């Protein structure tokens, strides 16, 4: 599981230590020293997770968390607050501001990595390496292998990401623009009909195992992955 992590921390030594450990674990780290810089980085490209120090020069980590939660574009980014303050009231304040989790300094790199994995699993299951199985399909993100009723299904990289997203967000209707954001990435200019092209390719790959019906068109809205039989 390699995620792009925005690290907002003003203490150079701590920033360096955390960045080193995250990079060592395979993550891509984007660093920021304060809330303003963090916001401009987020405007440029959405990270998968934000690690947010509570005490920052200028706007605090709590204020930044509130601003990220208030904007529809950044509302669902997982946020983990980093803080030296262990008081219960602070924890509640951090969580109320929209943080998903809270790590008290000093923390071990292992603990931080486990927390990152946990928030990704909750908020963005397509970011983890967990095997997904539904309706006879099995997708392994680690080996990039997909099988349908035990037959190997070969998919292009986009179809693979599309199927992974759909399987980890089943029974929900996704609009084309939502799929573009989630599968193609933020700020990538792709026409909405591109989604249709890749859905067609995905279905064609699933057809020999007769699992193409798992990927359903919801007329006028978008697409849905459904393994339910009714
Ligand atoms: Ca600080």
Mapping DSSP to helix (H, G, I), strand (E, B) and coil, where does residue 130 land? coil
9-50 pLDDT per residue, tens: 999 999 999 999 999 999 999 999 999 999 999 988 889 999
Give the span between the Cα atoms of 39 and 23, in whole angstroms.
22
Give residue 119 CA to ligand 1 midpoint distance, Å.
Answer: 22
Give residue 52 CA to ligand 1 midpoint distance, Å.
Answer: 9
Mapping DSSP to helix (H, G, I), strand (E, B) and coil, where does residue 194 land? helix
User: Residue 47 to residues 26, 114, 127, 141, 182: CA-CA distances in angstroms?
Assistant: 15, 18, 12, 20, 12
Rounded to the nearest integer, the mean pLDDT of the chain is 91
Give residue 72 CA to ligand 1 midpoint distance, Å.
Answer: 27
159-210 pLDDT per residue, tens: 999 999 999 999 999 999 889 888 887 656 778 899 999 999 999 999 999 9
Give residue 136 CA to ligand 1 midpoint distance, Å.
Answer: 49
Residues 212-230 have a mean pLDDT of 90
Q: Residue 196: in which H helix or E strand, if any?
A: helix 193-206
| Sheet containing strand 49-53, strands side by side | 28-32, 4-8, 49-53, 79-83, 101-104
Residues with CB under 5 A from ligand 1 (ion): 10, 53, 55
Give residue 63 CA to ligand 1 midpoint distance, Å.
Answer: 14
pLDDT at residue 125, as a whole number:
85
Residues 139-164 have a mean pLDDT of 94
Give residue 131 CA to ligand 1 midpoint distance, Å.
Answer: 37
Structurally, at CATH architecture level, domain 132-225 sits in Orthogonal Bundle (1.10)
pLDDT at residue 188, as a whole number:
61
Give residue 165 CA to ligand 1 midpoint distance, Å.
Answer: 35
The pTM for the full model equals 0.72
Give residue 80 CA to ligand 1 midpoint distance, Å.
Answer: 14
Give residue 56 CA to ligand 1 midpoint distance, Å.
Answer: 5
Q: What is the DSSP string of 138-160?
A: EEETTTTEEEETTEEE---HHHH
Give residue 24 CA to ligand 1 midpoint distance, Å.
Answer: 23
Domain spans, the chain: 4-126, 132-225
pLDDT at residue 92, as a whole number:
80
Model confidence at 108, pLDDT cuts 50, 70, 90, reads very high
**Residue 124: pLDDT over 90:** no
DSSP 207: G
Give residue 103 CA to ligand 1 midpoint distance, Å.
Answer: 13
Give residue 175 CA to ligand 1 midpoint distance, Å.
Answer: 40
Give the span between the Cα atoms of 95 and 206, in whole angstroms.
42
CATH assignment of 4-126, among 3.40.50.2300, 3.40.50.720, 3.30.70.260, 3.40.190.10: 3.40.50.2300
**Residues with Cβ within 8 Å of residue 61, at least 6 apart in sequence:** 8, 35, 52, 53, 54, 55, 81, 82, 83, 94
Give the span between the Cα atoms of 130 and 73, in whole angstroms.
26
pLDDT at residue 164, as a whole number:
96
Give the span between the Cα atoms of 42 and 230, in whole angstroms.
42
pLDDT at residue 45, as a whole number:
84
């Amino acid at each position: 599981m390699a995620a792009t992590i925005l690290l907002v921390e003003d203490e150079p030594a701590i920033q360096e230590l955390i960045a080193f450990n995250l990079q060592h674990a395979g993550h891509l780290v984007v660093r920021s020293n304060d809330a303003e810089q963090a916001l401009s980085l987020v405007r440029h490209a959405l990270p998968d997770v934000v690690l947010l120090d509570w005490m920052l020069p200028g706007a605090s980590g709590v204020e930044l968390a509130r601003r990220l939660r208030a904007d529809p574009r950044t509302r669902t980014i997982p946020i983990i607050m980093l803080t030296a303050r262990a008081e219960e009231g602070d924890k509640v304040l951090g969580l109320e501001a929209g943080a998903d989790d809270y790590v008290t300094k000093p923390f071990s790199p292992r603990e931080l990595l486990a927390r990152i994995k946990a928030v990704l699993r909750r908020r963005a299951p397509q970011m983890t390496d967990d095997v997904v199985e539904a309706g006879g399909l099995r997708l392994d993100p680690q080996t990039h292998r997909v099988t349908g009723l035990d037959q190997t299904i070969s998919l292009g990289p986009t179809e693979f990401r599309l199927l992974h997203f759909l399987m980890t967000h089943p029974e929900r209707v996704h609009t084309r623009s939502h799929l573009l954001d989630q599968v193609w990435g933020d700020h990538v200019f792709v026409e909405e009909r591109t989604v249709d092209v890749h859905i067609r390719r995905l279905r064609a790959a699933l057809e020999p195992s007769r699992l193409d019906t798992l990927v359903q068109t919801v007329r006028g809205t978008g697409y849905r992955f459904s393994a339910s039989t009714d």
